[in-house]
Structure 1
């Protein structure tokens, strides 16, 4: 999946409690998704709005590709101390 461009998308959804409208709660969601369109994230948000009683207040999300340049380094040797 990573070679196809997928990366880990993490979203924090803030929603109002159904019984207590003034109380905000949070829910963390993670899934492998394609940036910049994020089809799985938006499908989950649509599911939430249609099936879950707690109305959404806001959504924060971040996306991190698992394979990116500069994430590895070539080690040519190592040494131990003591």
Structure 2
């Protein structure tokens, strides 16, 4: 039986992490109101290809004008601190 790694885990190893984007925008019929759209997804920092694709779609297809975009990103797999503890020759 051949075992394969979970594709999502492989993406995490490749640098993908949890990305949150808050888009502040104005609708044409209420330009004085600033509205918010919040979205969480997996993306690859620092280029954010999925976010760029979404914002390109917004610019082409949505009537609302983007005021600003705030992006937060956290890698899901990070190097861990390894400490060697010597106790009778055993590694804990």
Alpha-carbon separation, structure 1, partners of 2:26 and 2:13? 38
Of 74, 88, 91, which residue of structure 2 is paired with 1:64? 74
Normalising by structure 1, what TM-score? Answer: 0.80
Q: RCO (CA 8 Å, sep 6+): is it higher in 1 or 2? A: 1
1:16 is aligned to: 26
Output aligned runs, 1:1-82, within 5 Å.
1-70=11-80
Runs of 4+ residues deviating >2 angstroms: none
Give me the TM-score of the superposition, normalised by structure 2.
0.72
CA RMSD of superposed structures (Å): 1.4
What's the offset of the Cα at 1:70? 4.0
Q: Secondary structure at the match of 1:42?
A: helix
Greater share of residues in strand? 2
Gaps of 5+ in 2: 1-10, 82-92
Specify the alignment match of 1:80 in structure 2. Answer: none
